[in-house]
Structures are given as C-alpha cells and as structure tokens.
Amino acid sequence: MRRRRQRPVPPVNEQSSDAELLRAVAAEQTAALRILHHRHAGWLRARLRRRCADPDVIDAAIQDTFVAVWDDAHRYEERAADAAAWLWTIAVRRLVSALRGPAHRWLSDPAADLSDDVATTPSAEELVLLGVEHGALGPALDRLSPELRSLIEATALDGLTVREAAKLFGIPEGTAKSRLTRARTRLRELLT
C-alpha cells in the first residue's frame, strides 16, 4: 500500500535538509529523491566498498536503497533516527540480502590475525566519542580476532541485528550471541 500526501510540501533545493527532502520524496517529488541520491550515494558507495568487493553488487544495492526510500519515505518521519543512519541501515540490509546465499562475498576485514578471543561492545556513539586518537580502544579492537571483530562491526556499527549478522556470516544465531558476549568481555579486559 502506498499512502501519500496530506498537505502540500514546499519545493526543495540543494540546500534542503535531509528531513525536508524525505518529506518531499514522500510527496512523490522526483527532484527531491535525486538531490538525496546525489548527496548520499557517494559515501554509501565508499562505505559499502569496505563490505563487498563487487562494484556491480554495490551499485545495485545503492539503487535498491533509493527505490526503497521512494516507497518508504513516509515512514521516515515516524522514527527519530538521523537520515544518514536510516539510509545506511537500508543500504547495508540491501547488500546483505544481495549477498545472501552460498557464494557470499562479504569482506572480512583485511587486518592481521591476532589472538582469537575477546572484544568490546562499543556502540557507534562510543566510537565517535573516542575518535581515532584515543588510545585504548583502537589497539584493543585491532587485537580482536577477525571473526569477533566482524561481528562487532556488523552489529554495533552497521546496525544489523544479531540474527542478521549470524545469517550473514553463516553461523547459528546462538553462536553469534555467545561470540558477541565473548567479544565484550575480552574488550573490557583489554581496556582496563
């Protein structure tokens, strides 16, 4: 069901805020979707590239994202989320569903393999607060095993649910949960 337009939406331009653009998209203004796309497609692509090596899959995921935005823009107002975060959540889910199946090409991070064990539970906000120059968390994260780190990344940073992350990595949900707990404990140790 497509439910549309109650009151007229003012015209938008390059300077309009994301929320204004999304309201205009909900009122079926193609121009608003174009501005939104041109504003966000670049960083979405850069970030999706860190998750997937196939440019065609990435391009398709971005296209799917904005088609979904066109259909669902009216839902945006109901949530209090930031538009960029909302877009990212859609985009990463699109990528995950595109990659689902036996031959998934999700990139685990390229860094070296350190000791298997434990990590942290940093929320995205915590990471922002810490920044790169804050010493403790960085090395701790780097010392996590790749599989624990990917799980942290998928849940804390990409906003996937544990179930989605488990599906993505092809492991049972229970395993994912216990690994996440392990990662948390381990990070706490490394940070104190």
Partner 1 sequence: MTTVTVSGLSKHYGARTALDSVDMTIDVGVTGLLGPNGAGKSTLLRCLATALAPDDGSIRVSGLDPAVPAQRTEVRRRIGYLPQNPGLYPNFTAYDLLDYVAVLKEITETRRRRAEVRRVLGEVELTDRAKTKVRKLSGGMRQRLGLAQALLGDPALVILDEPTVGLDPEQRMLFRALVSRLGERRTVLLSTHQTEDVGALCERVVVMSGGRVIFEGSPRELAGVAEGQVWLSEEPPKGSTAYWRNADGLYRTIGRQPAGAEATRPSIEDGYLLLLGAAAAAEVAR
Partner 2 sequence: MTAEWHVDSELREQYERGALEPSRLMAVEAHMLACAGCRGEIQVDITWLTGNFSVVYDNIHAPRIGPVQRLLARVGLPEHRWLLLTATPALRWSWLAATIAVLGLAIAGSLLSWSGDPGAASTLFLVLAPILPVIAVSGAYGPAVDPMHEITGTTPSAGPALVLWRAVAVISIATVMAAVAGLLMPGPGWLAAAGWLLPALLLCTGTLALATILSLPVAASVLGGLWLTGLLAVQQAQEEVFVPTLFGPSAQISYLAAAAVAAAVLFRRRSRFDLGESR
Q: Nearest approach, Cβ of 5 to partner 1 (angstroms)?
A: 12
Least separation, in Å, of the C-beta of 28 and partner 1? 5
CA atoms within 13 A on the CB side of 80: 0
Pattern 34-73, partner 2, x by CB under 8 A: x--xxxxxxx-xxx-xx--------x--xx--xx--x---
Distance CA 176, CA 185 (A): 14
Indicate which single residue of 10, 19, 85, 191 sits in contact with partner 2 (rule: CB under 8 A): 85
Contact 103, 110 (CB under 8 A): no
Q: Give the CA radius of gyration of the chain.
A: 19
Instruction: Note the residues at the interface with partner 1 (CB under 8 A).
Output: 28-31, 34
Binding-site partner at residue 31 among partner 1, partner 2, none, CB < 5 to 8 Å by type: partner 1
**Which residues sit at the interface with partner 2, rule CB under 8 A?**
30, 33-34, 37-43, 45-47, 49-50, 59, 62-63, 66-67, 70, 82, 84-85, 88, 109-111, 122, 124-125, 127-133, 137-142, 144, 149, 153, 157
